[in-house]
Chains A and B, each alone.
Chain A
Amino acid sequence: MSSTKLISANNLVKHYHRGTETIRAVDGISFEVDHGEFISIVGPSGAGKTTLLQLIGAMDTPTSGSLKISDRETARMNDRELTLLRQQSIGFVFQSFGLIPTLTVEENIALPATFSGKKVGPVVKGLLERVGLGHRRTHRPNELSGGEMQRVAIARSLVHSPPLLLADEPTGNLDSTTSEKILELLQDLRRDGLTVIIVTHNQALAARADRTITIVDGKIVA
């Protein structure tokens, strides 16, 4: 039976082994995310925020528990299915932007389409205008400012029209003015119906979300 929830996590667990030690990075987390929600995940360093983001982003599979994205259970997916899920349903924004230095702004934005084989020419043009970088189309990342690079990364995360955008410390490498602009852009996207989940240390940024999930030692505490 299909549900209206975009993400549904139930008793989600992710353990790592470091030598003989077992690290319980995510330890029995349950939560749900509706379509169009703007959620921030906060917590101290090592709390398990990034691991949770990796699980939600279909970059990794949980040790146990259930995680459904668009009604698809990721825990039982193989690498090919996870790749397909990322191609179709998830956009990523990284703290360090994650742009490919050899590609132009336009090529970086179109990168996901290289792997999905979709034609995205007009979409790229539209995204360039939306993030205000039409004039930087042929520039390479080393010719851009931090804010511009993050806007390119956001445009790239949207090129395949995913329903879910995940951002790992999207303003972590930016000054406060630029951070504010990026936040406005993310809120604009959310108003357009996109589900946005951000991991952040920035309390001001977290406060702008619809809901904040606080994690400590792999568990949701608030």
Chain B
Amino acid sequence: MTSIHRLSMLNILRRPLRSIVTATGVAVAIAALFSLWSFQRGYQAGLNSELEKLGAHLLLVPKGCPYDAASIALHGASWPCYLDQSYLKTAKSTKHVSAAAPVFMNAVYTPDTGAQNVYCGVDEEILKIKRTWKLDGQFPNKENGLLIGSELAKDRSWKIGQTVRMPGLEGTSGTVSGIIQPTQGPDDLFCYLRLADAQRIFKRPNKLTHILVRLDPPEQLDAVLSDLRGCGAGLEMNIVPLSHLFRTIQNLVESTRLLLGSIALIALFAAGAGVANTFMMAVSERQKEIGILRATGASRSHIFNMMIRETMALCLGGGIAGIVLAIASSGIVETWLRSKLPFAPHDSLIRPEYAVALGCILGAAILGCVSGLLPAWRASNTSPVNAIRSSGVTI
């Protein structure tokens, strides 16, 4: 026996091209919603993960733009200016500072491959900051000792104890004393060496690029900020609370998100209007047939139910196609977003999740329900008299 559901599904298939075009509108709108929602979650999770991997609560950098400085410190690049190493003492002596790790960072290019090689001069204090690090071998304690990121070691096939030519640094070699186990972050690509060695190689004695500071307890952030900004060294450096910085970055991205959100919302409205229009046309075309259904015993609620099922099924189909489309194009969207954002975490920016997919499917169902209200109401008010009135049409 035929069910109302089967009747609805068959009606959708009656004009496949029109159904596909209408569902495509829904698919595009849901794809935009899904991508935006996934980006929202991915970006926030990426920033939090980056903050966690950094292990520091404060970043002390030379005067200038703190966002640029944070980006360089997190992702690795050459620094345009430097801090005096004497500021390290001030940082270490500040109350509630549990660790202050000096860093001298520089990036050099290997001309033949064009690859960037990031060198970070550090001392053992870095291990108090990077608490998630697990080392194979040991921290370099001899001149020209190297601590290598896992990805770099794998790419170069470097082993512990091996003496290697340092990429991009002509005539300089070092001995691998340790390899950092995978962190899934930028550290996997960095080459760490002793602070003194880095300052010597890059000819910047007693200079630092930044200082990573960990607090104990972290809740004393405001007090530490006040102390550091109040001292003499505080005038010469930017003291960047990383949680504040990440929050600010998120706020900066918020406007982009709002814009994209508005576009997604407009697309949803347009898709809903398209669905409503398509089904209003369908109701007009099927006046006689609906009249026949009414004459053969269908109540108003049967007809209303049938039409709502049609719009919901079409929107659900479009919604699922939209999610598939969004997942399939997430790589392209991610590349585009990375090129536009002022700061992008190392982790994936677009993070498709089941909850987001379910939310979008629910959104598509609601869209189908709302956009179907008017056509369903109109169809349900069709009089059975139409079964006879518009004679001459062969069904």
A positions within 8 Å CB-CB of B: 50, 53-54, 57, 59-60, 79-80, 83, 86-87, 92, 94-103, 107, 110-116, 119-121, 141, 156-157, 160, 168-169, 173
Contacts and interface: CB of A to CB of B under 8 A. Distances in A.
B306 to A, nearest CB: 10
Contact of A53 (B13, B302, B388): B388
Contacts of A87: 297
A173 B393 CA distance: 11
Contact of B384 (A86, A96, A107): A86
A54 B387 CA distance: 10
A86 B1 CA distance: 19
Interface string B2-40: 111001001101100000000000000000000000000
Contacts of B10: 102-103
Given A101-B395, A102-B10, 9 more contacts: A54-B388, A60-B385, A86-B384, A87-B297, A97-B395, A100-B7, A110-B1, A113-B1, A114-B298
Contacts of B384: 54, 57, 59-60, 86
The 10 closest A-B pairs by CB, nearest first: A102-B10, A87-B297, A115-B297, A59-B384, A98-B292, A107-B2, A83-B299, A112-B297, A115-B298, A112-B296
A42 to B, nearest CB: 16
A124 to B, nearest CB: 8
B127 to A, nearest CB: 72
A50 B2 contact: no
A113 B11 CA distance: 19
Contacts of B7: 100, 102-103, 114
Contact of A121 (B1, B289, B294, B299): B1
Contacts of B4: 114
Interface of B: 1-4, 7, 10-11, 13-14, 288-289, 292-300, 302, 383-385, 387-389, 391-395
A110 B2 contact: yes
A156 B383 CA distance: 20
A59 B394 contact: no
A45 B387 CA distance: 18
B2 A111 contact: yes
5 contacts: A59-B388, A83-B297, A98-B289, A103-B2, A115-B293
A147 B30 CA distance: 48
Nearest to B289: A100
Contacts, number: 105
A59 B289 contact: no
Contact of A92 (B2, B296, B392): B296
A94 B188 CA distance: 78
Nearest to A101: B395
A194 B225 CA distance: 96
Given A83-B299, A96-B392, A59 B387 contact: yes
A54 B394 contact: no
A89 to B, nearest CB: 10
A156 B395 CA distance: 15
B387 A92 contact: yes
Contacts of B294: 59, 83, 86
B2 A168 contact: no
Given A50-B388, A59-B384, A103-B2, A116 B297 contact: yes
B289 to A, nearest CB: 7
A80 B380 CA distance: 12
Contacts of B300: 79, 83
B174 to A, nearest CB: 76
B312 to A, nearest CB: 18
Contacts of B14: 101-102
A97 B297 CA distance: 16
A60 B383 contact: yes
Nearest to A120: B1
A191 B394 CA distance: 30
A92 B295 contact: yes
Nearest to B14: A102
A59 B295 contact: yes
A41 B145 CA distance: 109
Contacts of A141: 395
Nearest to A85: B297
A174 to B, nearest CB: 12
B377 to A, nearest CB: 14
A40 B239 CA distance: 99
A102 B11 contact: yes
A96 B394 contact: yes
A167 to B, nearest CB: 11
A111 B395 contact: no
B7 to A, nearest CB: 7
Contacts of B394: 96-97, 173
A99 B388 contact: no
A99 B385 contact: no
A111 B389 CA distance: 21
B270 to A, nearest CB: 29
A98 B387 contact: yes
Nearest to A116: B297
A100 B383 CA distance: 17
B282 to A, nearest CB: 13
B299 A114 contact: no
B295 A114 contact: no
A170 to B, nearest CB: 12
A59 B383 contact: yes
